[in-house]
A and B are shown apart, each in its own frame.
Chain A
Amino acid sequence: MDVLEQAQKLREIPLFSALDKSQLKLLAFTSEVFSYDAGDYLFYQDEVADGIYVVLDGNVSVVDESTEEPVLLARKTPGALLGEMAVLRKVRRSAAVRVDSEALVLKISAERFIDLITGTPEIALYVLKDISTRLEDASKELAELKLRQSHASN
């Protein structure tokens, strides 16, 4: 997959839909592309976050490995964006990402990602919307959990 095809892939990701053709090409050109085998890790839990990942090909799983039995949090397919929260908050990775089948992944450095957000209001807005949605989902989940707990105790 050459850099022009990779730019085309990025275009399909909603986060980057506001970027024009040249900007997408530049983003692809200044990013790194890695190929992984099944069982490899994109990153480990508690690791310093140095970039975000875009799955170009293959499948990966987001796993919480802090407990004795790892807990599967989500499965991600091509087009998925991973690891942006830790980069934004400058914290260590809250979960690990494991590769399920051979995968091709594009890595955008933390520095470049922050540049993109500060330089492109559309991207900043998208990130904001995304975080609000996640917060809303989490609140709903919490409410449901509480409800179930109160039912259980009754």
Chain B
Amino acid sequence: MEASIYRYILHHTWKDQLWLIVLILMSLPFVYIGLEIPKTIINEVLSGQSNRFVFLTMEFDQVEFLLLMSFAFLALILINGILKYVINVYRGALGERMLRRFRYTLYSRVLRFPLPYFKKVSAGELIPMITSESEPLGGFIGDSIALPAFEGGLLLTYVGFIFVQDIWLGLAAIALYPPQAYLIPKLQRKINKLSRQRVKSVRKLAYRVGETVSSAVDIRANDTGYLERADISYRLGKIFRIRYEIYRRKFFIKFLNNFLGQLTPFFFFSIGGYLVLQGRLTLGALVAVLAAYKDIGPPWKELLKFYQIAEDTRVKYAQIIKQFEPENIRNEELHLGIDVTGPRFSKSVSGNNISLSAEHHHSKLEGINFNLSVPEHTGLLCAEGETGKEVGLLLSGLDPPVLGDLRFDDYDVKDLPEAALGKNIGYCSPNSKLLNVSVKDNLLYGLKHRPVEGGMALELPEPELVEATRSGNSIHNVRTSWVDFHTVGTQTQEEFEVFKDEVINAVELDQDIMGLAQRLYLKGKSDQELMKEIVDARTEVRNAIRDLDDGKLIETFETTVYSQNLTVAENLLFGTPYDLAADLEDLAFAQEVQDILSTTELNKDLIYVGLEAARLMIELFENVDTDSDFFTRYSFIEASKLSKYQELIEKIDSSGTQSFSERDSKLLISVALRISPAQHRLSLITSEIQGQIVAVRKLIMEELGYDNDIIQFIDKDGYQSGMNVRANLLFGKIAYDKRHLQDRIHQRLNQVLSTLGLGKVILNRGLQFHCGEAGSNLPQTFRQKLLLARALIKNPDVLIIEEPLSALNFESQKRIFTNVKKLRDGKNMIWIFSDKRFAEEFDQVLSFDNSVSGS
């Protein structure tokens, strides 16, 4: 990158800057004329020395000429305003374009950083550099030449005007510039030094805040909040001191400037006044000079401000780019690559005298020689620790050796473009990360090298394209399809789909993905067809699962039967709110429902049940710490309300239910509504009460009607939008005491779906599931399988896999390993592992502990 910001600006924007200068120069004559007109009005029109005025060969009387001059003045104001507007917009756009380019350049450089450099820099420091720290640079770049040109031009125009009136007044106007030009840069130098310190201190602060966020658990576990606060306080104090020092100096410069500026009128009044008295200068000219001088102030101030900002930005620019210029940054040509496919590898992966650098690596591997045949499967047994990771990165060419050669066939890895490595070499390790996109986008991430034909345009649409080009940004259209199934070796979309399914099945993700789909809530019009198919599949599903355990696993929803696995509220209302955010318990307190509860006197039973349950909760939880998550997980009563219930029970025990308020009954009924007989194992909901609840349920359904817009009552022929896909398929609840068998149930469910031809639709729906940040919405086993699938689906020439399935038990790992071996039959696979039990699965095993030398 260019070492100085001015070089960077000129390199990319000299044409624009030139055009800006032309615009500014065009505006200056108008400014000058704007100064002349008032002088003409005062000296010639208003002095009354003449009654006839000639302008452009036309004659005017005094009033006419006054009006002409006034309107000319008005026109000039307008012209100046328009020109200023055009210049400002142009300047703003120029700055923003350059900011876009600058950020893009920085981001691109991050992609080219050598891997060991990421250990030195933290995201906490890099992020503000690309975001907030570069922000002021944009504003400055627009101003960098235009502002000094414009304000300097104005200043020169005003000074020129004064000189034309009188040379002595002109000299008086600029008399104090030389001392200022000498003093101010001297003072500014110290400010620059402080600015550098400020940038560094703020970065360190950002780093520490980032570290606090990532170590929040450790800070709490060790009660080191005070220590961390003290550290942050110290850092903030340091930043305060630096900023205070900067302010002191900055405003001293301002003071000096103001003071010297105010001295000039002294010269005008004394020298100018003397010249007027002497008759060597007209009063009009002195007034105009004073007006011009009044106008000199703002541009001079602007210039000074600009000078300070320019210095500050110069420092910031240098501080930013320093972090983006690591040694050994990947060559841009190799990084971007011209050839899309790059060379293919079919013979060998060989190492000649390779050593890992002691500075960047933990493993001591020195002078290693190896030659692995590409079509074979090799096991690398590495001692636990960093060795596996470092060997994996080395072999995949991601961390090329500093000493020795790594070759794929005859190509030295250092000469290979990134495209060749990224396309033809697969790599997966425990450090691989999922992105915050759908399962499908993560799975196919390794196939998205360039936009592909067949979808939308490959390049951005017209207006966006022009801007992207002007800012030196990528012109590829991110919204079109990028999945290139040809690189996988498949010729058609259908062939690719078959291969994709093979990969998903090999890592045993099919069931997991179908499981994800079954957690989704379907609502949209696009899912109507699927919803209907799900309702139609219910009978088949029920029969298949009944075969498993004689109907004990699922308690099917029956409108006329009390469900032991649902809460009282769910049994009573027997439906789900249309609004997914609404609480069913709240709906039970709707007036219509409460009226029915009173009429049928079910409320009395519920109050009794609630009272007994509340007594038990108080007995169980009164000694439990209120901060404990026990309350939220198990108690029917929130920690904050426990004392309220205690008071209520004491009141009832002493004076019975005579003085019972509506609020009291609501408190107790709300407890009763949360009880589920199967889950809570409380013998409070007797069979009589259950029968009553089912009877009341019928009344509620009749009162509200099936077509109400609040609750969707459960209907065996309708899709329940407030339940997920699985609940809709099972059309019932897995019995609480059988939840340990849910995997078996899910498996059976998936089998039925496949038999019914719904497997593929459900799988595709599951592929749309959003993974969350770094895959946080998925269990670790799922994440690991998905990462392995991502490497496999590339169908690369060389595949390096490091401990991909550590979260799975050995049996599952072995099973998937066997599947993967079959999938990669006749193709390369280098599997790095630390569990010795894997060794017997390979024809050849190389062993690395953390200090190996030789062949």
Contacts and interface: CB of A to CB of B under 8 A. Distances in A.
A binds B: yes
Interface of A: 1-3, 6, 22, 25-26, 28-30, 32-37, 40, 44, 46-48, 92, 104
Given A22-B620, A25-B620, 19 more contacts: A2-B681, A3-B680, A3-B682, A6-B681, A22-B619, A25-B616, A26-B624, A29-B634, A29-B680, A33-B681, A33-B736, A33-B737, A34-B738, A35-B737, A37-B549, A44-B809, A46-B809, A47-B809, A92-B809
A28 B549 CA distance: 26
Interface string B611-653: 0000010011101100000100110000000000000000000
B596 to A, nearest CB: 29
B33 to A, nearest CB: 83
A2 B678 CA distance: 9
Which 3 A-B residue pairs are closest in the complex by CB-CB distance?
A3-B681, A35-B737, A26-B620
A34 B737 contact: yes
A41 to B, nearest CB: 9
A28 B634 CA distance: 11
A94 to B, nearest CB: 13
B687 interface: no
B811 interface: yes
A141 B624 CA distance: 44
A48 B739 CA distance: 17
A28 B737 CA distance: 14
B294 to A, nearest CB: 76
A132 B630 CA distance: 32
A25 B737 contact: no
Nearest to A5: B681
Interface in B807-855: 809-811
Contacts of A35: 737-738
A2 B682 contact: yes
B621 A46 contact: no
Given A3-B680, A35-B737, A48 B624 contact: no
29 contacts: A2-B683, A3-B681, A6-B681, A22-B620, A25-B616, A25-B619, A25-B620, A26-B620, A26-B621, A26-B624, A29-B634, A29-B680, A29-B681, A32-B736, A32-B739, A33-B736, A33-B737, A34-B738, A34-B739, A35-B738, A36-B740, A37-B549, A40-B741, A44-B809, A46-B809, A46-B811, A47-B809, A92-B809, A104-B737
Nearest to A6: B681
B740 A1 contact: no
Interface of B: 549, 616, 619-621, 623-624, 630, 633-634, 680-683, 736-741, 809-811
Nearest to B619: A22
For chain B, what secondary structure do more than half of its interface residues adopt (helix, strand, loop), or is it mixed? helix
Nearest to B623: A22
B272 to A, nearest CB: 88
A79 to B, nearest CB: 19
A34 B740 contact: yes
Nearest to A93: B809
A29 B809 contact: no
Given A46-B811, A92-B809, A29 B620 contact: yes
Contacts of A28: 681
Contacts of A6: 681
Contact of B630 (A3, A30, A37): A30
Given A34-B740, A35-B737, A46 B681 contact: no
Given A25-B619, A30-B634, A48 B737 contact: no
Contacts of B740: 34, 36, 40
Contacts of A29: 620, 634, 680-681
A137 B681 CA distance: 39
Contacts of B634: 29-30
A46 B835 CA distance: 14
Nearest to A25: B620
Contacts of B736: 32-33
Contacts of A3: 680-682
Given A25-B619, A34-B737, A35-B737, A46 B624 contact: no
A32 B680 CA distance: 9
A28 B682 CA distance: 11
B555 to A, nearest CB: 13
Nearest to A26: B620
A104 B737 CA distance: 9
A118 to B, nearest CB: 13
Given A29-B620, A33-B737, A37-B549, A48 B809 contact: yes
A26 to B, nearest CB: 4
A21 to B, nearest CB: 9
